[in-house]
Structure 1
Amino acid sequence: MAEPTVLVGLAVVIGSATLLAYIAHLMKQPLVLAYVFAGLLIGPGGFGIISNSDTVFSFSELGIAFFLFVIGIQIDLNKIRDIGFTVAAAGLTQIILTFLAGYGLSLFLGFSHIVSVYLGLVMTFSSTLVVVKMLAEKEELDSIHGRIAIGILLLQDVVAIMALAILKDYSSEGLSSVILQPLAMSAGLLVLSVAASRMLLPPLMRFFAHNQELLFLSALSWCFLFSLLAHQMGLSIAIGSYLAGVGIGGLPYNLEIAGLIRGLRDFFATLFFVSLGMQLSLGHLSGALPAIILFSILVLIIKPLSTVWVVTLLGYKSRTSFFSSISLGQVSEFSLILVSTGVGLGVLSPSISSLVAAVTVFTIITTSYALRYKEKLFIGVARPLKTLEEKGFRNRVPVGIPVRHKDHIVLAGCNRMGYSILETLKSLRHDFIVVDLDPDIIQDLMNEGVPCIYGDIKDSEITERLYLKDASIIISTVTQKDDNIRLIEEVRKANPKALVIVTALNVDTALGFYRFGADYVILPKMLAGEKVADIIVENVRNPKHLGALRETHIVELKYIKRQELLRRFEPTSLRIAERRLPP
């Protein structure tokens, strides 16, 4: 019977993944490696516990589709819009160069023209699933290099959706059916998602938001609805689920929905990686080892090189460009769907599918280790990247030349929390320097005459120009764990007497910062609770206090929102004028 087979298959998949993940955790290895190895053991290429290829494909497709839905929900397009030129330049350069390299390598290895086209496209796309998961684990989704990487991935996804739509109908006759029709269908589905997110979904989700179960079920129904529409149009269900997530991503309830389905996201991510291992066939790979090595080198080296080259020349720091590019060195889940489409059309053989699966597994595992040890890898390439950085268009990114101070305060990160601290420092009339990785923020601060510098607090050159040895207080509103640890260590070496205040998102990280020598750790949620408690106490003493505080708060929020909108849409000169206006 079909149902028991599926249930037993799921039990085997989850059980084996759990066991090997536990072993990997004890050995302090990436869990992705455990999931893939579990799939290899239980799949047709291992012990053959699950040998039904249809079951393997169902697990893979369902895992990809659902995870892409969650990714669509979580991606904030507004954060990427600010670096749109960089994303477009680096992304298009990477796509073109990688495709040409992959196509040329395929022809060199003796593959036919159409197979070479498929393989060129396969090597072009990076895994949104893997990159988002790893950046989220390191709390780097909102960093500059994280935003650049996500932006390039979104551009790749658009191209991948177009390629999927075209190649799925490759066997059809005529330009209309091969290219125009599937592209029109994909565009129509996108328009439908955007229109629904503006007209239908807001009142609908507002109604469901009163009940979390209804909100959860409505989000899942939306995902399955678009997957069904995509399937009926002859498109991949992954396209439908991804566009469904993009539609919900623009709603004010997107983070709540993402939180509700976080468990399902992790579950389906596990299914994807296990099913990836199940697709490996050692028999098919025995004669394809040279091709696997060459394609892996292309993905791991050529693809990141094309990205780091463009991002650095556009004026970003070499560290930022390196971190944004190194995360892209793997094959995408869309690539696996492309290959499955080619096999289904009879264009590609099963051996090509095994080849691509092997390259995907190897590059994903390698990327996991590369991201874990990216600081050490950067040290090895820092010198040539520094030379490239000096040749870049530095006028695109303001640098800022801080005046030398003594007994000053260093503020790292001028986000919303940093903005409030900055205003306090101004009112104290105490010497201070601001460092930030957002070029728009630095440009605004420079135009206002605020001492500032563009750069990363983990960059030794930046820390030298901040004159840490002469500083009295160092405040970091940056939430990246590694950045704050490095900052604490640098300050303790240069100036043991300075006070170091850093920011953490959870208790364990905060305790770790204290062990490294932080004087105080900001926990935003805990501080918010303490602030509310103080407000309540003050309001008991003075019943009019809360009303006055409310009006002041509204004015401040409107001012901050106006600055964010101006930074996103207006020229710099208008932003300067607006900042000088009273709120």
Structure 2
Amino acid sequence: MESQSIITSFFLIFSGAAVLASVVLYTRQPLLVAYIALGAILGPYGLHLVTDAHLLSEIAEIGIIFLLFLLGLDMQPRNLVHMLRKATVVAIGSSIIFAACGYTIALMFGYTQTESVVIGVAMMFSSTIIGIKLLPTTVLHHRHTGELVVGLLLLQDLIAIIVLLMLGGKESESTWQQFLQTLIMLPVLVLVAFATVKYVIVKLLQHFDRFHEYIFLLAIGWCLGVAQLAELFGLSLEIGAFIGGISVATSPISQYIAVHLKPLRDFFLILFFFSLGASFNLGLLSEVILASSVLAICILIIKPITFRYLLGFIKEPADQSWEVGFRLGQISEFSLLIAFLATSTAIIGTNASHVIQATAIITFILNSYIVIFRFPSPIAVSDKLRRD
């Protein structure tokens, strides 16, 4: 894409988002609706004004990386380890239930066994972006809820990596070798990150803490550097960014970094939601809308109930369990990646892929409505519920 077309695309996206966001706020709707709707209107399947949605999606992934980095900055390592230990049973048990639900519904609508398995697997995960973007991270009495949400999302991310490796195994005989490499490299990455922070990053921050621009640059470089290292180790960019963030969390400068990177994160997340709307082929909507709607309604109902009772099993309070369930009551951007990879390797057809995509969009939007009108969030329409 030429530089001029990038500028034009950004003009259309952010000017259009500003206009639609104004309408959405006046009508008391979630801002995410404006971004996704704008993508559908301006994208390749709408007015064809922004055509390279794939490039925008790649740019928008930086927003996800910053989101996970900032999330790590708000987490204390000791608390996280304890939460991951508690949440493992919940993550595995809930994944099995959601996969079985998606598989059964897909079979009912006539999809093949293989397509039904992939659709079922895609239902297992909840959105890191939605879950964390709508979660207040600076309010003390929501901190435990945040730890539960983060612990479950991280475990789901690890399961998603395994699924992606298995899907890639259709073209590669080294799938299990990659899987073992991932299990080995995760603790290696954690050790490298914490050692580098202790012996390099913290000393640099202490020496140059008067130069705010330097702190900003070092934080961005560290975030993207650990994310890139994670990818080289066979992990995801998002997990690398989170490890980069949590490795700095014990530093006194962590909150300063968190505050100053938020606008940059929001810039890229707008592009992510735009690209989500732009990548959906509206011409296939009539063919998949019924199956997608049934799947979406099932997910919106079953996920909160499942998390409520599984979290209750590990002695979490009922009110927090319900809140966690509703905050995780959608499918994931990993589901979209699974749909893309399974289609590109001819494991599933285009129709099945669009069922997953449509289900993701429906659950993203409807779940956002549920959360911002019922629970505290940074983008709540009500002043009473708005928390950052």
Indicate the TM-score class for this superposition, using the shorter chain for normalisation. 0.7 to 0.9
- Give the 3 Å change call, closer, same or farther, for CA 157–72 of structure 1 in structure 2: farther
| Structure 1 runs not aligned, ≥5 long | 376-480, 487-503, 507-583
SS, match of residue 217 in structure 2? helix
- How much does 1:257 deviate? 0.9
Structure number with greater CO (CA < 8 Å, separation at least 6) is: 2
Contact 1:215/1:257 (8 A) holds in 2: yes
SS, match of residue 124 in structure 1? coil
Q: Paired residue for 1:57?
A: 57
- How much does 1:235 deviate? 5.2
Amino acid at match of 1:98: F
Residue 16 of structure 2 corresponds to residue 45 of structure 1: no
Q: Distance in 1 between matches of 2:112 and 2:208?
A: 53
- Give the 3 Å change call, closer, same or farther, for CA 89–260 of structure 1 in structure 2: same
Q: Paired residue for 1:303?
A: 303
Q: Distance in 2 between matches of 1:123 and 1:184?
A: 27
Amino acid at match of 1:41: I
Q: Paired residue for 2:254?
A: 254
- Give the 3 Å change call, closer, same or farther, for CA 14–359 of structure 1 in structure 2: same
Q: Paired residue for 2:272?
A: 272
Amino acid at match of 1:357: Q
Q: Paired residue for 1:548?
A: none
- Give the 3 Å change call, closer, same or farther, for CA 46–138 of structure 1 in structure 2: farther
Superposition pairs for residues 360-399 of structure 1, below 5 Å?
360-374=360-374
- List per-residue Cα deviations over 1:496-550 (Å, max 9, x = no partner): xxxxxxxx999xxxxxxxxxxxxxxxxxxxxxxxxxxxxxxxxxxxxxxxxxxxx
SS, match of residue 6 in structure 1? helix
Residue 46 of structure 2 corresponds to residue 14 of structure 1: no
SS, match of residue 200 in structure 1? helix
Superposition pairs for residues 502-521 of structure 1, below 5 Å?
none
Contact 1:122/1:331 (8 A) holds in 2: yes
- How much does 1:327 deviate? 1.0
- List per-residue Cα deviations over 1:61-114 (Å, max 9, x = no partner): 333333333333333444455655653333332122212322343344444454
Q: Which has the higher strand share?
A: 1
Q: Paired residue for 2:200?
A: 200
Q: Distance in 1 between matches of 2:214 and 2:139?
A: 29
- Give the 3 Å change call, closer, same or farther, for CA 77–290 of structure 1 in structure 2: farther
Amino acid at match of 2:269: A
Q: Distance in 1 between matches of 2:26 and 2:137?
A: 18
Q: Distance in 2 between matches of 1:141 and 1:5?
A: 46
- List per-residue Cα deviations over 1:467-514 (Å, max 9, x = no partner): xxxxxxxxxxxxxx9xxx89xxxxxxxxxxxxxxxxx999xxxxxxxx
Contact 2:226/2:243 (8 A) holds in 1: yes
- How much does 1:308 deviate? 0.5
Superposition pairs for residues 341-352 of structure 1, below 5 Å?
341-352=341-352
Q: Percent identity?
A: 29
- Give the 3 Å change call, closer, same or farther, for CA 85–230 of structure 1 in structure 2: closer
Superposition pairs for residues 30-429 of structure 1, below 5 Å?
30-80=30-80, 86-136=86-136, 139=139, 142-177=142-177, 179-232=179-232, 236-374=236-374
- How much does 1:172 deviate? 0.5
Contact 1:170/1:178 (8 A) holds in 2: no
Q: Distance in 1 between matches of 2:29 and 2:140?
A: 20
SS, match of residue 62 in structure 2? helix
Q: Distance in 1 between matches of 2:338 and 2:208?
A: 36
- Give the 3 Å change call, closer, same or farther, for CA 317–182 of structure 1 in structure 2: closer
- How much does 1:264 deviate? 0.4
- How much does 1:156 deviate? 1.8
Q: Distance in 2 between matches of 1:252 and 1:230?
A: 25
Contact 2:161/2:235 (8 A) holds in 1: no
Contact 1:70/1:245 (8 A) holds in 2: yes
- How much does 1:234 deviate? 5.9
Amino acid at match of 1:101: C
Q: Distance in 1 between matches of 2:362 and 2:231?
A: 31
Q: Distance in 2 between matches of 1:199 and 1:99?
A: 44
Further displaced range: 259-268 or 316-325: 316-325
- How much does 1:361 deviate? 1.6
SS, match of residue 75 in structure 1? coil
- How much does 1:20 deviate? 0.7
Further displaced range: 354-363 or 108-117: 108-117
Contact 1:141/1:147 (8 A) holds in 2: no
Q: Paired residue for 1:413?
A: none
Q: Distance in 2 between matches of 1:89 and 1:201?
A: 35
Q: Distance in 2 between matches of 1:235 and 1:343?
A: 22
Scaled by the length of structure 1, what TM-score is found?
0.59
Q: Distance in 2 between matches of 1:194 and 1:164?
A: 27
- How much does 1:300 deviate? 0.9
Contact 2:125/2:331 (8 A) holds in 1: yes
- How much does 1:168 deviate? 4.2
Amino acid at match of 2:252: P
- How much does 1:178 deviate? 5.0
- How much does 1:191 deviate? 4.0
Q: Distance in 2 between matches of 1:362 and 1:9?
A: 25
**Larger-gyration structure (1/2):** 1
Contact 2:293/2:362 (8 A) holds in 1: no
- Give the 3 Å change call, closer, same or farther, for CA 168–241 of structure 1 in structure 2: farther
Amino acid at match of 1:72: G
SS, match of residue 189 in structure 2? helix
Scaled by the length of structure 2, what TM-score is found?
0.85
Q: Distance in 1 between matches of 2:178 and 2:104?
A: 24
Q: Distance in 2 between matches of 1:209 and 1:141?
A: 31
- List per-residue Cα deviations over 1:325-345 (Å, max 9, x = no partner): 111111122322333333444
Q: Number of residue pairs matched?
A: 383
- Give the 3 Å change call, closer, same or farther, for CA 138–34 of structure 1 in structure 2: farther
Q: Distance in 2 between matches of 1:105 and 1:331?
A: 15
SS, match of residue 11 in structure 1? helix
